[in-house]
Amino acid sequence: MTATITAALAGNPNCGKTTLFNALTGARQHVGNYPGVTVERRSGNVKTDTASLNVVDLPGTYSLTAYSPEELVARDFIVDERPQVVINVLDATSLERNLYLTIQFMELGAPMVLALNMMDAVKKQGKTIDTDKLSTLLGFPVVETVARTGLGKNALVQHAVAFARQKEKSWQPLHISYGPVLDPILNEMEEMIRANGFLDQRFPSRWIALKYLEEDEQVLKLGGGSGSKTHQQLKIIADKAKEKCFTTLEVGPEAVIADFRYGHIASMMKQGVVKGDTTHQRRHLSDKIDRVVTDQFFGPIIMLATLYGIFYITFPIGEIPMGWVEAFFEWLTNAATAIIPESLLQSLVVDGIIGGVGGVMGFVPLIMVMFMAITILEDLGYMARMAYMMDRVLRMFGLHGASLMPFIISGGIPGGCAVPGVMAARTLRSPKEKLATILTAPFMNCGAKVPVFLLLSAAFFPDNAARVMFGITIISWVVALLVAKLLRTTVIKGESTPFVMELPPYRIPTMKGVLIHTWERAWQYMKKAGTVILGISILIWAAMTFPGLPDESAGTFQAQRTAAEATLAAATTDQQRSALEQELMGINNMEAQAALKYSVAGRVGSAFEPVSKLAGFDWRTNIALLGGFAAKEVIVSSLGTAYSMGDVDPEASEGLGARLANDPNWSRATAMSLMIFVLLYAPCFVTVAVIGREASWGWAGFSVVFNTGLAFTLSVIVYHIM
């Protein structure tokens, strides 16, 4: 048995690390044509005949001096955890820029294997890369790969294993010259670091010196925290170096360092690493597309048309399989009702489990279609264009172009989920902008809220379902932007941060990628339905069932029933009989109502009714909304249970929507008010937990209270003006 080798996949954003990770490990992590898709590290295993590897996929980073929180994840892993081998993935179509990070890895002394990815695109551009020469120049193995097809992955693994074994524990930092101004200073700093054993020799001393000159926040913090006086001395030298650079070279040390690094790369490239045509077919095409798609006039029109188009196709397409799923659950309900004798168990299975889970499952097809559309847009590279076009607008509201992705993932195009959406905010540099994004992303129209809107719009605004959905989505954006503005001008004031982003080339989405990603999302949704939602549904069912009516009132209903039955038996004409049957049903209804009202849920729901009435919500709706604090998916099913348990008309096999539409307590105003409330009130538990982790528990609590308050206020207003 050999020990497991840890291999980290690192490189620039959007160079294909996750695609390669998936190819190597068989995982299905999210891939997208957008810089900054991966925000967390993920690991997976690869076994060969001779070794076993633990491969870690990292967020992309342009430099080892991290800029945003997700880049910090990558840098910390490489710097602190020191994987046995770093698989440096490079986008070979922009080799020079990608090598900038490689050089920094080399200065750190990391043992590396280079994966020159996107070789298919390089070939299309008519270029060739002399990998042997590059390998000799750098002193590391270089493997050509096409991560999308898995080409070169075996060679890569072999090199990584061999290299990890051979170089074990010896990190050999590269020394490059930083010119006559900085070199003597670097030497002096290095000397000092070595003499004092500064930072326990955990990093190469020249690397620490460079980081002091570059004013790397993390290293300075680490140095300051070590309590060593070397820290102060290094800072003094760094300050002097800065002055000297400005007086002699007119730029800061970080600029000098960057220049020399690029110079080092350029001198390597000059030796003929890349050959061939330098006119870029593909980029020309991308540029041409951009000329239209991001045009000052057509750009916004195309963007809105695209979004509206998604609604326009999703509903008709999604409805067909949705019908099948609904029919299946209807059949299941009937079967369960027939097989299980009337009892608590029947009620649990039919109302609690099938009702709860089926209510959510019915929407899987729709979510899949929506999500497929989002995936295609993302894979094409369109999201990056949207971020670019929207930056100016988002900035007016105290947000940032990079806030767009978290919004969209959260449901800016319906069907998303705020949990990964909040995580995606890690690509934001400034903690203030990040916080504002995190706090407003949960307003978006996530996949769990969609069912509520579909139900209500179909019942109360038939023929206009897609338009209502579009309207709701627009409202979610408007509220998110306004709240962001409010927060950014009050509690989280602060400057905006730069928007420097790469626009990736347009790429044709791969069928496989789109299907896998869509399936992943659908599977997550279904898994949640089968676990969390199932659990909550059972809990809510129990809360709506227990305690049962006390004996005396149950007795009263029983007595009424017996009396009615006796008269029914004595009835002679059909007319009399049907009138009496009506009466009997009325008694049953009243009993069921009374029972529901007597239950824990009924009591809680009723307790809130005096307040919730202001927005038009009765006690049954309150039960559903309380369930929605845990997970929004349960709102529709709890509403269904609350209305079916309190209403046992056997002929009312009509859907919940129709039942609500016919209910005298419901009107368009109620429906609209409820939609607004559901859209905006407290994020679900999981989202709150993620906000707690990404921001703080205080802010998580804030989002629960603030959002609910805002939602209620707006609902009351809507209810009264409608």
Partner 1 sequence: MTNTINLREMQVNQTGTIRSVRATGELGRRIRDMGLVPNTEIRIVGRAPLKDPVALRLLDFTITLRNNEADFITVEPTGE
Binding site for Mg ion (CB under 5 A): 17-18, 37-38
Decide whether 370 or 386 has the Cβ nearer to partner 1.
386
Segment 241 to 260, residues that bind partner 1, using CB under 8 A? 251-252, 254-255, 258-259
- Cα 699–29–513 angle (5° rounding)? 125
Tell me if 32 contacts ligand GTP by CB under 6 A: yes
Choices 26-34, 96-104, 518-526, 605-613 (CB under 6 A): range interacting with ligand GTP: 26-34
Tell me if 144 contacts partner 1 by CB under 8 A: no
Segment 2 to 21, residues that bind ligand GTP, using CB under 6 A? 13-19
Tokens of 23: 């190819």
Site map (CB under 8 A) of partner 1, residues 273-292, x = contact: -----x-x--x--xx--xx-
Helix H or strand E encompassing 42: strand 42-47
Decide whether 17 or 231 has the Cβ nearer to ligand GTP.
17
Least Å distance between CB 211 and partner 1?
11
Tokens of 468: 């209502």
Bridge partner list, 86: 8, 112
Neighbour-count burial of 188, counting CB atoms closer than 10 A to its CB (0-12 exposed, 13-18 middle, 19+ buried): middle
Tell me if 477 contacts partner 1 by CB under 8 A: no
Phi, psi of 416 (to 5 degrees): -80, -160
Decide whether 153 or 429 has the Cβ nearer to partner 1.
429
Neighbouring C-beta atoms of residue 111, cutoff 10 Å? 22
Q: How far is CA 148 from CA 571, 595, 709, in A?
A: 78, 59, 48
Segment 46 to 85, residues that bind partner 1, using CB under 8 A? 62-63, 65, 67
Tell me if 389 contacts partner 1 by CB under 8 A: yes
Decide whether 255 or 327 has the Cβ nearer to partner 1.
255
Least Å distance between CB 375 and ligand GTP?
10
Contact 42, 27 (CB under 8 A): yes
Neighbour-count burial of 463, counting CB atoms closer than 10 A to its CB (0-12 exposed, 13-18 middle, 19+ buried): exposed
Least Å distance between CB 89 and ligand GTP?
6
Count of chain residues binding partner 1 (CB under 8 A): 45
Decide whether 496 or 510 has the Cβ nearer to partner 1.
496
Cβ-proximal residue to ligand GTP, closest one: 60
Contact 108, 78 (CB under 8 A): yes
Decide whether 392 or 668 has the Cβ nearer to partner 1.
392
* 5, 95, 157, 422: residue in contact with partner 1 (rule CB under 8 A): 95
Tell me if 89 contacts partner 1 by CB under 8 A: no
CA distance 359 to 635: 9
- DSSP label at 13? T
Least Å distance between CB 77 and ligand GTP?
13
Tokens of 35: 């810089």
SS3 call for 130: coil
Phi, psi of 170 (to 5 degrees): -115, 105
Name the strands in the sheet holding 85-91, side by side, starting at the edge strand that comes first in the sequence: 42-47, 52-57, 5-11, 85-91, 112-117, 142-144
Least Å distance between CB 365 and ligand GTP?
25
Tell me if 214 contacts partner 1 by CB under 8 A: yes
CA distance 111 to 309: 49
Choices 74-82, 390-398, 439-447, 616-624 (CB under 8 A): range interacting with partner 1: 390-398
Tokens of 169: 């524990």
SS3 call for 344: helix
Q: What is the DSSP string of 175-196?
A: ----HHHHHHHHHHHHHHHHHH
Tell me if 59 contacts ligand GTP by CB under 6 A: yes
Tell me if 120 contacts partner 1 by CB under 8 A: no
Q: Which residues bind ligand GTP (CB under 6 A)?
A: 13-19, 31-33, 35-38, 59-60, 117-118, 120-121, 146-148, 379, 507, 513
Q: Which residues bind partner 1 (CB under 8 A)?
A: 62-63, 65, 67, 93-97, 100, 214-215, 251-252, 254-255, 258-259, 262, 278, 280, 283, 286-287, 290-291, 294-297, 299-300, 388-389, 391-393, 401, 498-503, 505
